[in-house]
Each structure stands twice: as structure tokens, then as C-alpha cells.
Structure 1
Amino acid sequence: MTAVPEAGGNATARPEPGDDATAAPAAGDDATAGDTTTVAAAGDTSTAVPATGGAGFSRAGAQSYAAAWARAARRLGFVPFSAAETERLLLGHTEHLAGALLAEAFTARPAESVGRALVEAHLAEPGLLDWSIAALGDRFVAQVLPERAGRPGTAQRVAGLQGGLAAGFARALRDRTFTQQERIARSAWQARDLVEQALRDSEARFRAVFVGAAIGIGIAGVDGQIIEVNQAFADMLGYSVGELRRTNVASLFHPDDAAGMWELYQALIEGKHDSARVEKRYYRKDGSIVWTDLAVSLIRHDDGRPRFTVAMIEDITERYELQQRLRFQALHDPLTGLPNRTLFFETLGQVLADAGPDHRIGVCFLDLDGFKAVNDSLGHDLGDRLLVVIARRLAECVAGHGHLVARMGGDEFVILVDGGEDIDDAVGVAEMALAAVSAPVHVGDQQLAVSASIGIVECPAGETSPSELMKAADTTLYWAKAEGRGRWAVYDPERSARDIARSALVAGLPAALDRGEFVVHYQPIVSLLDSSMVAVEALVRWQHPELGLVGPDQFIGLAEETGLIVRLGEWVLGQACRDAEAWRREFPEAKLIVSVNLAARQANDPAIVETVAGALGRTGLPAALLQLELTESAVMGTAGEPLRALHQLADLGVRLAIDDFGTGYSNLAYLRRMPIHCLKLAGPFVEGIRPGGVDLSTDAAASAASADHRDERIVDALVRLAHALELWVTAEAVETEAQAERLRSLRCDTGQGRWFGPPVPAAQITARLRDDAEGAP
């Protein structure tokens, strides 16, 4: 046993490795049993380190060693503690190791506890273990127990501590790994259970939807063989579920759709498309036809190969039949059942589009002579019955020849002579029509002698357009009437030019424009929602020096025929933009839109886009506050460059509207192609909307009420159509409060007419805006 002097000159006997004797501190020594620092790691309290200065333990050295150990930990890996916390933790481990080294009976278990504690504190980097073991051998004794350095048995004890530290670290790391593996395995099993449960739930939901769905659902293989259908599918087609499972989808196709449907199905199973949706016919088991809305989706294998198809099918037979009835009503005259002007112009446009270079076409435009007198003297009901008889006769006399007969409106009918060889064919058709009309007509107890006048136009199909053909036919019809009733006349372009040239009013138009005799009046367009004025329509008037204020109906048509409408329209456009910009500057909150009529010839003018852009640029009016109104003939007959011009105008930000919609030859398909923003419903439809309570005691009153109801239904249909196409709707010719209220209930957007105010000079619009601004809250 060797005595080691302690601080203060006192000495404490420490046993050497293997010594059995233990030296007790002498009486009066500074180090006592109560003056020790006890270090416990992982519950091991078997060792105690004397307080600073006792047994050769250096508190400063231990702190320095712990600080170096903490720095190494932070350098070698992630440390979940602050620097101070790490150093404090490792100081405890340092003291614990010192206590083990100084213990009378040496054991490496405290070092194992320290190794395990390091792992439990997440100081589990392999590099830290290497450093800890190396430092334990290289510097621990010198720094922490300097008096123990070089003494016999110290090296063996240090080696034991190194082994214990490594063993504890390794066992703790292994235990943690096993725990994590067990946790991962448990999570994997739980995830698998959840997936299996989700799959079972999904299958249950699919089965519930499949069985209980109101629409038909069917699954078929890539060969078209039906695999499974639900009861709704079977009921729709009149089969049992078992019968359909033995059926190929191709056998259900309607013959007219079979080729297209099989192509669609082949495209799906070849993977060209993932889904498709069509409206198609199917045969029921009893041979009847069901119209369906069919949606088919392709289901693939995991590797992308087509596996089978899923079809969802809804019976839309009633809806389809309703659409067909509505289409028939939209394209046929409700009184006579003949095709109306819409269908006529649709057919005429198609014939002209499909015509070859040698194809000829003719039109016989027929108008009954003196029909107004029949209505005035005998009543509209008898007049309608007369029209029905005449329509039937015309249809019968030309039906065998394959010609189309249509009612254009009122007492006007038109016959399309398609594919004739020359003018004689059209003349022959006109003579047959006159003969059919001239036979006495018995209506009720009345026998009427009826005659008609016919204008004939015949020409190569490639040299005309629908609007030109009908314009010529209309002109020729009036020639026939002027020459005496009950006859026909053939269109003569030269005569037409001479008539226009001789018009005195036409001759005065250019000079009037140069002299500034034209003025612009504005008619309010009012919101039916809150009665606010949202726009005005610019209407040109001719302040004639002799005739006074001349309305546009007396000179606009002539200006269009002579081409002066382009200059006149440009002037009106410029004046309207100037007035609108003045209103915008004075009343910016009003955001008043000015609507300017654009004639067909203007729309066809190559410079129309530059004209409009120039007017906006010169006046400073924002494009969004300008609306251009085009007639149906200008819009529906537009193609090529004019069509591009309309799109260019829309690109400027200008709004485009169709004026008098419903009275022209509207081809609804064109509405999808045109950049239209607004439809202005024609006045006649609005005039037919009357207040309730009409006396229906007479047949004539009942017929008029029925016609009024039809007009209201037409307005309702047109408003719905426009809103479906995301178009604004303005009703023209609103004359009464009842009409305004009914239009509001039909969800029409704006109204225009005498009820909201007549066309007035710009100053009166300014005054109205000022009154509105002063009355605003």
C-alpha cells in the first residue's frame, strides 16, 4: 500500500489493484465519509468519488475532460442537447468512470452503464465511441486522476473500463435496433391491415354504388363481351342481368350508329383514349329504341395494357324527344307546319356550300295579293286558316319535284329550286305555284279568290350568297306586284341598278352627309333588374332641309344599297364615341355603354377594324364601352374575311350584339363561332307579350291569346338559349310596364323601348345621367 499525500498535508491510504486492505481516513483528515461526490449511471451507485482534492481526483481536470468529450460529440454527430447540457451530462459520466477506476473492488459495470447511457442520450455515433475509448486510454487518468498515473494496476483498470464502455454502447445500440425493428414490423403489419380494410371498404362502397345506382353501369372485356351489369342497366334495355352477361355490346348498337360506335370502342380498347362520352341509340329487347347518354372509361392493367371498359349509361329518350320537338318548333312555322325562314336559310346555305361549279339554283319568292284586306275584313283567324290552306297547296304541288317550300313570315312563302338546268325550270315551278294558289279557297262559309305575286331569281350557285339571293328575290317580287297581281317576274340586275340610281333620296344622301345634315339620337337601354340606364343605342336621323327630321327606315336601306352606309356608319360611330367619352368623363361611375348599329356592308368592309380602332383612339373611349349591333343577315351570312374582322373587333375589347334576333334566318350553329356578347330580341316577340285577363270569349281572341302565349314561350326559349351560350339579352320594343315585368320574370337582362324612353338628343341623356347621379345615395 502506498500513501498519497492529499491537499493540506493529510494522507489517505488507497489500495493497489488486488490489495484486500482498505485504509480508513485518519481522524481529522479533510476527506470524510460525508465529503464525497457520488456519481450514479443507469442506476449503478457502487462507486463514489471523493470531493475535489480527495483521493487524487481533479475536479478541474474532470471538467476539462468533459468539455473535450462534449466538443468531440458535437463535432462527430448530432447532439440533441445544448452545449452546456451536453457538457454537464458528460461530466457526470466522467466522474462515474473515475469512481469505477478508484473503486476498491474493480468492476467494469459502471463503464457499461456509461456506454448504455450514451446511446440512450442519442449520442450513438460510432465516431464518438471511438473517441471516447481512445480518450479513456490516452488522457483520462492524466487529466482526471493525475495521482493515479503510472501506479500499478491502473492500465489494467483503464483497459477494463474501455471494454466495458464499448460493450455497454454496443448492447444498448443493439437493443435500440431491435426495438426499432420491432416497431417498424408492427407498423408494417398495421399498415397492411389498414390497406386490406380500406380495400374491403372500397369494394363494399363500389358494390353498393354499382347495385343501387339509378343509372346503368356495365363492365365489358376488350372483346366487347359484357362481364357484369347492374339492374338499372338491365331494366333500361329490357333484359335480365343474366341475358346481358351472355351478350356482346356490338349486338346492342343501333345499325345507323354501329360503325361509329365500334370505332369508338376499338379506339378505347387500343388505348388511344381513356374515356369517351356520346349520345347514342340502343335497341331494347322488344325492338324499341332508347336514346342514351353514354360515358365509357378504360380500365388498365398495372403495366398499362387495356383490361376492360366501364360504361355508365343514362336513359335520355324523353329529353332527346323533347329536344327534337323543340328543334322542329324552332325550324318550322307553328301555323302551317312548313319549314320556317331559319330552316330555309340553313338549307340554302348548305346547298350553296356543297354546290359544284355547274350547279344552278333558283328561288321563287311568293307573296299573297291583298292578304291584308282579308285580315282586316274577315279577321286574323280566317286569315290564318287561309294561310294553312295555301301552305298545304304549295307543299303538294312542288313536293313531287323535290323542292323545299318554306313560310318566311306573314303571307310570304319561298320555294327553293335546287339543281335546275336554267330559268325555265324556276319559271315552271312559279307557274305551278300560282295555279295552286289561284283555285278558290273555302274557309268556313267563305269562298275566297286568292292570287299571288312571285319574284324569281335563278343563277349559278357559285355566284351568289343566301343574302344576295333573297335580296334579289324580294326586289323582283315587288316588281311583279308593281306590274299587276297574279303574275311572276324574273330578276334583272340591270333594272335593279336603274331603280336605285333613279332614287332621288339616294341622290341626296352623299351631299347631306357632307353638309352635316345627319344627327344622332340615343335611346336608353335599361337594366330590368334595377331599372338603371346601362347603355344607349345610337340612332341616326336625317335633318332634311325640306322634309324635316327623317327616320332611318326611310334612308338606311338606300344607304346600304348604294354603299354610302360605310361613310354614314363611320360618321355615326365617331359621333357616338365622342358623346360616350364625354359622358364617361363627367359621369365615370355610370360606365354607360353606347351601342352603334353596324350594317352588313360595314361588316364586310375590309377596313372596319381600322375604322373602329381609329374612332376609339381619336375619342379616347374605352373599347369596353362600345357595342356594335349587327343584323342577323350580316352575322349569319358572314364567312371568311368578315368573320375574321368580327373576331378582331372582339379582340379590341368591343362588344358585339345581334340586332332583331329571331326574325332573321338565324343559324344557331353560327352563334358558337361568332364572338357575340349580346342578343337583342326582335320587337314582334315582345309585342306579343300582353297582360293577363284578356277576354277569350271569341275565337279570334282565343287565337290571338294563343299566339301571344307562343311569343312568350319563344322569348323564354331565346333567353334560355342566350344564357346557355353566356350571352347578354336585350328585349326591344318594350312598350308597357306589363311587358317589362314579364320580361324581368323571364330573366331577360335589359330592355329598350318607349316604356324606358324614346330616342332623344345627347343633351337629354346627359341630363338624365345628371339626375341619376344627384339622386344616388
Structure 2
Amino acid sequence: MAEVVQRWAVRLADTDGVGLSADRLEALVQGVVRDALATVEAGREAAIRRFSALYSASPMGIALADKAGEIVEANAALGAFLGHKPEDLRGRHIAELGFSRRDAERLRAGLDELEETDVEHHRQRVRLAHADDAGTWADVTLTMLPGDRPGSMYPVLMALDANEVHSLQETLRHQSVHDPLTGLSNSSRFDTMLEAALGPSARDQIALVYLDIDGFKVINDGLGAGAGDKVLRGIARKLKDVFAGPDTLVARLSGDGFGILLRGRLNAREVIALVERALEDLGEPIYLGDLGVGVSASAGIVVRDVADGGPGDLQRAAEIALHRAKEAGKAQWMLFDPELDARDRARYRLGAEIAGALENGEFSLMYQPTVKLDGSGEVAAVNAGLRWHHREQGELDSAEFFPLADTTGMTIPLGKWLLTRSLATAARWRSEYGDAAPEVCVRLPRRLAIDADLVRLVKDQLDRQELPAKALRLCTDAESVLDPRGEVLESLAVLSELGAKLVLTVSGSADLELISRHGLNVQYVVLSGAVVDAMADGEDEAAARHLDQLIARALELRLCVGAEGVVNPEQAERLRAHGVVAARGPFAATSATDDEVDTLIAPAVP
């Protein structure tokens, strides 16, 4: 500093107009410098005091380190946060504050980033090691502070307590991917995990199980939603116990629907064994106080290599397998079968085409004549049915598409079309042939039989065609009569009061007894099944005795007895000998169109 002052004093003394000696100027310059240094030093000391106060009183944990990253000073807040005295942290590397090796590596990577790049700070959430050997979550900021010498920089760690924030975020994250009632994964997480399990790096096999509780509505309606919730929690616990593998995920996908995802080296036999165990465990009562509630479940299973299709294919396969399990009687499992699936796709496509086919006129009426067995060959009635003239598959009988109509909601439109067209044809026959015109018999699809508009529809059509109600026969069977809700019986009773004739198909004595038990106004019974088939190739003594018992009981009930499925004239004659007065089947005609029925009626017209 003295050399600088002397040099400037000489330069100023050599300036024109300056009347001071070099010594005097040197003294003056020295005074100026001393004042400047004093001002700088005062500012520096004030800055140091401010930093020290902030450092000491800050609620944020702070650690100052040397160039190597070893802590040289830590404030009280950091010591309290980590459960140490501040001086105990000196000499430790900043990375050593990490709770796990992964946390330490993240801190070290942050220091390296500050040193090797132009970033001013590095922030991350890590767990720091606490004195009680636990981890504590902290939002950490790493930065560099300048040192005393120009260009020198030293690392600093600043830490804020993030445990509450982290806990809240984890809680929210958990809630977003878990079902709040059972604690299982929800459908969103299940879909995400399924997609990940079928990603490009996936190996080995994957299994998907869809499980649905049978009749769970009964529990909710009978015991209340609160009891239902407790049962669902019990079901979830049982499923977690059975499917407890490391690469297994159990989720609640809907109200009473669950999904299980398994990954690894799998085979169908192992997965089926787990499903069978789960179904068995679910059959054990879940106790709500003293009340033991048992449930059954149906399961659809798919096991395949991860490369065999995407998530959508797998889910569809599981849904189809579950649907088949329920169709097979519930309380059981079904393994997805690709060959069955191919056939079902063709069937379901057929079902989807019914609405358009009806609108485009692809359906027609077909009849099966019921002829008297008195030798006259007179047509007593015709059973009306539908035939579909399919563009690709040709002629389809009602048995091939009516079951599909139930699944697509087309049963009622088809049934109404059948009823209105057959009554229109009956009206034409009555107009042309008078009393020789046959009555029309319609077997109502169950869905139409319980429809609220059925009675109005029948009455409107009878009035429109100017037909007496007695020209219409309505056929039903024991299964419909035994419907626990009684809706079919109610509809038939009202239609009977209008004058329509009721026909009951029977195969045994128990079916006949339904007539008196339920007070049915039945006029005709049609024998069907084994009791008729037994007379096809001869007369078995036991079968004949059974037939006589049925006919005797029918006569006691003042019923007219017919038969269906009669294949040849000899069988028809044997049945006639026992008291059957009319029959239908291949011996007369398998089916007939309107015009063909005309040719059967015409000979009976005088």
C-alpha cells in the first residue's frame, strides 16, 4: 500500500499547478486511503455480523463446508433437525448426511453439478439421517458461497423440514390410486400397472383374473349398505391373503368386482389353484357381530405370454371368461378359451345385427301345424315362430337368434313383431276359411310375457284384426310358471280373462300339478320330452304306464292333451291310442309358410 501511495504522490506532485511537495501529497493520499479502508472494513464487519445473526437465528438448517465438501460449521437449526449438537456435524462430508446410500448419492450428485456446471443452486427432496437411526424428509438446497479470496467458492447446504408436506403428498398419492373402502388398488392404478406389465421390457407370463361377487345386491338390500361395506372389506382381506406374491396386484375395480394381476413364470394350473383357494375362502362366513355372511364369487381367468396382445386384449378376454363363468351357474371359474371366443364373436355379431335385420324385412313367420289324430288330418292350430333370412348365413331358426336377442334388448321388438304378424295372418285365414281356420299358438318370450304393455298390445291387435280372443293360444312352460316374482302368471291370467286360451307344456306329473296349485286357467297341455320320445320306436311298458298316468290326470283337470316332437305316423298312432288327440312334429310338417298352411287347411273346407 505504501508503494502505491508514493507512486501516486509523485505523479500528483509533477502536475502543473500543484503547490505541494511530494511528501505532503503522500501524507494526504495516505489519509484518503485510510478513510476508504476504514469504510470498507466497517461495511465488511457489518455484513459479517448480519450473516452471523441470520445464520445463527435461521429456522432453516445450514451447513458451511470447505472446498472438499466437509462441513466446517453447522447452525443450531440443522443440529436440532438432525438430533445432533452442531459441533458434532463438523468434519462430516455433506453427502454423509443422507439417510440411505441412494440419498447420499443424490447429495453428492448435486455437489458435482454445482462444481461442473453454471447452475446457481440444486434443489431436491431427500431423506437425511437423524440421530435416532431414522430418516427424516427434507427439502435440500445446495449452493456455492464466495470465500475471502477472489474467485474462491465454498459449498453450502440448506435444509427445510419436509416431513409433513411429504406425508400429505404421500397420503394424497395413496388416495388417488387406492380404493378408500378396502384399501386395495383402484381401477386407475390397476390399468397403469397392467400397461407397465405388458411394456417392451416385460418378460415371461402374465395372468389376469376378474372376480365378481355373486348376488351381492342381496346383501346390500337385505342387510343395508353398511353391512355390505364390511363384507367387501372382509372379501378384500381374503383376496390379499391368497394373492400375496411379490409380483401380484389385487384391486377393487367396481362395486363388487375385483381384479388380480400376476406376473412372472406362470402356468394356468398354478393360477387356477390360487383362484380355487380364493373361491373356497370366500365361501367361509364373514361375521358381522353374531351374523355370519357367506358369499360366492365367479372368476374369469386369462394366462398368456406377455407378448400375446396388449392390455385391451387381455381385459376383454378376462371379461369374456367371467361372463361364461356366470352363465355356467356362478360360484365357479372359467379359463379363457380362444376357440370358444372365435365362435362367440360370430354369435355376438349375429346378435348385434338383429335390429337392422328386423327393420330391413329379413324376418318371416314360419308355422308348425298341430294336426288332429282322429284320422281327419285337420289342422287344429299352428305354432307361430320366426325365421331369419340372413344375408350371409342363410335361413336361421329362432333357437339360433332368440337367446342373442335377450342380450341385445331385441326380445320385445321381435316378440311384438311375431305377435302382430301372426294375428294378422290368423285374421286372413278366418276370413277365407271360416271355422276351418286354425287357431294361432304363440310362445311368448319371457321378457315379453312380463312386459307392462303386453295386455294392451294383444287387445289392440285383436281389435284391429277383428279377431275373437279365443283364436289366440298362448303357450308357456313350468319354468315360467315357477318364476318367483309371478309376473308371467299375472300377464297370462289377464290375457286369459280377455278370452285367450292358455297352453302349458309338460314333461311330468309335477308340471301338471302346477295348474291346480296356481289356479291356472289352462285349456290345453302339450306333452314334451322323454314321455313322448319313449313312444317313438315302440311301446315300453313303463313309459306307457307313465303316459297313461299323465293323460288320466290331465283328463281329471278337464284338459285337452296334445304332444310335440312326434317324428313318425307310428309314434302318432301309439300316442293317439293312449288318449293324445293332436300332435305336431316331423310326422306332419317340420315347418310351413303361410301358403303351405293354406294348402293344409283347404282340404278341410267344404
Name the SS of the counterpart of 2:68 in structure 1: coil
C-alpha change, 1:386 and 1:192, in structure 2 (3 Å) is same
Alignment of 1:37-186 (within 5 A): 174-175=17-18
For residue 252 of structure 1, the aligned residue among 90, 94, 97 is 97
Name the SS of the counterpart of 1:462 in structure 2: coil
C-alpha change, 1:225 and 1:484, in structure 2 (3 Å) is same
Name the SS of the counterpart of 2:17 in structure 1: helix
- 8 Å CA contact 2:63–2:73 kept in 1: the answer is yes
For residue 84 of structure 2, the aligned residue among 239, 244, 265 is 239
Q: Is 1:337 aligned to 2:180, yes or no?
A: no
- 8 Å CA contact 2:144–2:153 kept in 1: the answer is yes
What displacement does 1:201 show? Answer: 3.2
Rounded to whole Å, the distance in 2 between the matches of 1:365 and 1:205 is: 67
How many residues get paired? 343
Partner of 1:376: 221
For residue 288 of structure 1, the aligned residue among 134, 147, 159 is 134
Rounded to whole Å, the distance in 2 between the matches of 1:495 and 1:435 is: 27
RMSD: 3.8
What displacement does 1:348 show? Answer: 2.3
Q: Is 1:439 aligned to 2:284, yes or no?
A: yes
C-alpha change, 1:511 and 1:200, in structure 2 (3 Å) is farther
Q: C-alpha deviations, 1:506-527, integer Å up to 9, x for none?
A: 4379999x9xxxxxxxxxxxxx
What displacement does 1:173 show? Answer: 5.5
C-alpha change, 1:177 and 1:457, in structure 2 (3 Å) is farther
Alignment of 1:177-576 (within 5 A): 194-256=39-101, 257-269=103-115, 274-299=120-145, 307-353=153-199, 355-356=201-202, 359-399=204-244, 403-501=248-346, 502-503=348-349, 506-507=352-353
Q: C-alpha deviations, 1:160-216, integer Å up to 9, x for none?
A: xxxxxxxxxxx99625999xx999999877765554444333323222221221111
Rounded to whole Å, the distance in 2 between the matches of 1:240 and 1:448 is: 59
Rounded to whole Å, the distance in 2 between the matches of 1:245 and 1:479 is: 70
Alignment of 1:633-644 (within 5 A): none
Rounded to whole Å, the distance in 2 between the matches of 1:240 and 1:343 is: 44
Q: C-alpha deviations, 1:642-697, integer Å up to 9, x for none?
A: xxxxxxxxxxxxxxxxxxxxxxxxxxxxxxxxxxxxxxxxxxxxxxxxxxxxxxxx
What displacement does 1:364 show? Answer: 0.7
What displacement does 1:475 show? Answer: 2.7
Rounded to whole Å, the distance in 1 between the matches of 2:85 and 2:205 is: 56
Q: Structure 2 counterpart of 1:473, which letter?
A: A
C-alpha change, 1:262 and 1:173, in structure 2 (3 Å) is closer
C-alpha change, 1:429 and 1:173, in structure 2 (3 Å) is same
Alignment of 1:700-711 (within 5 A): none
Mind listing any 5+ residue stretches in structure 2 that lack a counterpart? 1-13, 361-406, 409-606
Name the SS of the counterpart of 1:394 in structure 2: helix
Rounded to whole Å, the distance in 2 between the matches of 1:457 and 1:312 is: 53
- 8 Å CA contact 2:64–2:73 kept in 1: the answer is yes
Q: Structure 2 counterpart of 1:316, which letter?
A: A
Rounded to whole Å, the distance in 2 between the matches of 1:234 and 1:414 is: 49
Partner of 2:465: none
Over alpha carbons, which structure has the higher Rg? Answer: 1
Q: Structure 2 counterpart of 1:431, which letter?
A: E
Q: C-alpha deviations, 1:78-97, integer Å up to 9, x for none?
A: xxxxxxxxxxxxxxxxxxxx
What displacement does 1:461 show? Answer: 0.9
Name the SS of the counterpart of 2:183 in structure 1: coil
- 8 Å CA contact 2:126–2:139 kept in 1: the answer is yes
C-alpha change, 1:190 and 1:511, in structure 2 (3 Å) is farther
- 8 Å CA contact 2:100–2:127 kept in 1: the answer is no
Name the SS of the counterpart of 1:463 in structure 2: coil
Rounded to whole Å, the distance in 1 between the matches of 2:152 and 2:279 is: 66
Rounded to whole Å, the distance in 2 between the matches of 1:369 and 1:246 is: 66
What displacement does 1:271 show? Answer: 5.7
Q: Structure 1 counterpart of 2:270, which letter?
A: D
Name the SS of the counterpart of 1:353 in structure 2: coil
Rounded to whole Å, the distance in 1 between the matches of 2:50 and 2:32 is: 26
What displacement does 1:297 show? Answer: 0.5
Q: Structure 2 counterpart of 1:327, which letter?
A: R
Q: C-alpha deviations, 1:388-424, integer Å up to 9, x for none?
A: 1111111112215753222112111111121243332
Rounded to whole Å, the distance in 1 between the matches of 2:246 and 2:323 is: 26
What displacement does 1:480 show? Answer: 1.4
Name the SS of the counterpart of 1:406 in structure 2: strand
Rounded to whole Å, the distance in 2 between the matches of 1:260 and 1:296 is: 11
- 8 Å CA contact 1:454–1:487 kept in 2: the answer is yes
C-alpha change, 1:452 and 1:191, in structure 2 (3 Å) is same
Q: Structure 2 counterpart of 1:237, which letter?
A: L
Rounded to whole Å, the distance in 2 between the matches of 1:186 and 1:509 is: 108
Rounded to whole Å, the distance in 2 between the matches of 1:509 and 1:185 is: 108
- 8 Å CA contact 1:363–1:426 kept in 2: the answer is no
What displacement does 1:503 show? Answer: 4.0
Rounded to whole Å, the distance in 2 between the matches of 1:174 and 1:305 is: 42
What displacement does 1:313 show? Answer: 0.5
Partner of 1:639: none
- 8 Å CA contact 2:279–2:331 kept in 1: the answer is yes
Alignment of 1:610-649 (within 5 A): none
Q: C-alpha deviations, 1:441-484, integer Å up to 9, x for none?
A: 33233233311111111221123333332232123212211221
Name the SS of the counterpart of 2:303 in structure 1: strand
C-alpha change, 1:226 and 1:377, in structure 2 (3 Å) is same
C-alpha change, 1:323 and 1:369, in structure 2 (3 Å) is same
- 8 Å CA contact 2:139–2:162 kept in 1: the answer is yes
C-alpha change, 1:281 and 1:401, in structure 2 (3 Å) is closer
Rounded to whole Å, the distance in 1 between the matches of 2:166 and 2:335 is: 44
Rounded to whole Å, the distance in 2 between the matches of 1:250 and 1:444 is: 55
Rounded to whole Å, the distance in 1 between the matches of 2:290 and 2:200 is: 48
Rounded to whole Å, the distance in 1 between the matches of 2:52 and 2:321 is: 71
Name the SS of the counterpart of 2:302 in structure 1: strand
- 8 Å CA contact 1:455–1:473 kept in 2: the answer is yes
Rounded to whole Å, the distance in 2 between the matches of 1:214 and 1:221 is: 22
Rounded to whole Å, the distance in 1 between the matches of 2:353 and 2:39 is: 91
Rounded to whole Å, the distance in 2 between the matches of 1:238 and 1:174 is: 71
Partner of 1:545: none
Name the SS of the counterpart of 1:468 in structure 2: helix
Partner of 2:456: none
**Which moves more between the two structures, 248-257 or 412-421?**
248-257
C-alpha change, 1:202 and 1:380, in structure 2 (3 Å) is same
C-alpha change, 1:172 and 1:209, in structure 2 (3 Å) is closer
Which is bigger in relative contact order (C-alpha 8 A, separation at least 6)?
2
TM-score (norm 1): 0.40
